[in-house]
Amino acid sequence: MEKKLFLLVLLSIFFASSSAWATVSGQCSNCHTMHNSQNGINDKTGVLSDGTLLTGTSRSLTKGDCVGCHTGDISASATDKIPYIMSTGGTEYGPDYTPVTGALENAPATNTLAGGSFNGVRLAGSDNLGHNVFNIRELKDANMPDYAPPGWIATTFKADAGGGDATGTIATDGWTTQLTCAGTMGCHGNHVEADDFADINGAHHGDDSRIDGSTVAKSYRFLRGILGYEDADWELSVSSTDHNTYYGLDRANTTTTGMDAKTISYLCAECHGNFHSGTDIIYNSTTIADANPWLRHPTDFSLQTTAADTEYRDYANASGTLYATGTSAYNYIAPLASANVSAGDDNNKKASTTTPPTGAISDPFAVADNDIVTCLSCHRAHGSAYADLLRWDYTDMQAGSGGDGVNKFANKGCFACHTTKD
């Protein structure tokens, strides 16, 4: 009897733990080799017979470094259970708008993940199509005087260093090397170790059942301290009801005291701080009431807290149709963040379905603070087919020409928010 009871206890522990962990799954050989050597390639750059790209030094007995393991056929990301951030097959991109006609194409997307890709930087060799990350493009951006990113503030924005309180720093001694995937000079990981692998150690096999920012594994997309709802296939399939939900906050002011270090825009500000606070956002003002004129584009602000007669209340869906009560207004090409994705939200778990949290699905105006403008409303995190990592071609944004038979970008791209400017 005691043996049976002991067995039942063991089984209950096993099933409880297996349901609480939503970690990397699949064959170990998908990522690892026993002796850090494969097909005659030993810890060096090269391409395996299956097309896997090896770059730099591969540690933890992996087949490649961060870039090598996340390079492949982007359309196979869901089946391979690996988000591919660079393609072996070309420069795919979408969903998007065709030039001149403005027709929606590649929707739902099957060849671009939410963060875009580094195809433009690596394959096309263009600095302005993506972040110049070490082991992707072995060059400093030719337009930058040094390695420091534009708008970098050394002391204002702190990267989360393990305490969940944004106490760490990024490149406090100045940028002397290239941006890396993780580490003190990167975006992902703890921001403690300079080495990518050491800094993100354990995250791929950690407990990520709840995204609360307490660990790398429990942070949105391994961005330590950042919150959000993770779409199950990284937006390989995407629609107004099938998407990531980024965490944003409707700030009361433009100073650092009005910010939340767990928003996706704060993550961007860790490197591009001048675009996110103080007099570098509003000309000669730090209050929202007299935010006129804006010096830099506002982030972490709500559309529906603007005046009732402003153009921003007519935010358009992906097809360009203006928002109206009861329609699917969420625009997955120009996405808005939600303040309703938080550490205490029961819905804020790693996605097991394609449905975002209630109140952040199709109608961003249905719930207060569900319509937050972020950096990612306009940019892709990794890169895109367009200059400055923009989600659409900026040259197609022709003021006053929407629907004139030549340029048909009415309520699309920039005009998804600036609905009276097309």
How many Cα atoms within 13 Å fall on the side-chain side of residue 65? 21
**By the 8 A CB rule, do 298 and 287 touch?**
no
**By the 8 A CB rule, do 30 and 52 touch?**
no
Buried b or exposed e, range 268-297, using 16+ CB within 10 angstroms:
bbbbbbbbbbbeebbeebeebeebeeebbe
Encode the chain (422 residues) as per-residue pLDDT tens digits. 444 443 443 333 333 333 334 467 777 877 777 776 666 656 555 555 555 555 556 677 777 778 878 888 888 898 888 899 988 766 668 888 988 888 888 777 778 899 999 888 877 667 888 898 887 876 777 777 778 888 887 777 777 766 556 666 555 556 778 888 998 888 999 888 888 888 898 899 998 878 888 899 989 999 998 988 888 899 998 888 888 999 998 887 777 666 788 899 989 988 888 887 766 676 666 666 666 677 788 888 888 888 888 888 889 988 888 876 556 678 999 999 988 876 555 545 554 444 566 555 677 777 778 899 999 999 999 999 899 999 999 998 988 887 666 668 889 999 999 999 98
- Where is 96: in which H helix or E strand? strand 96-97
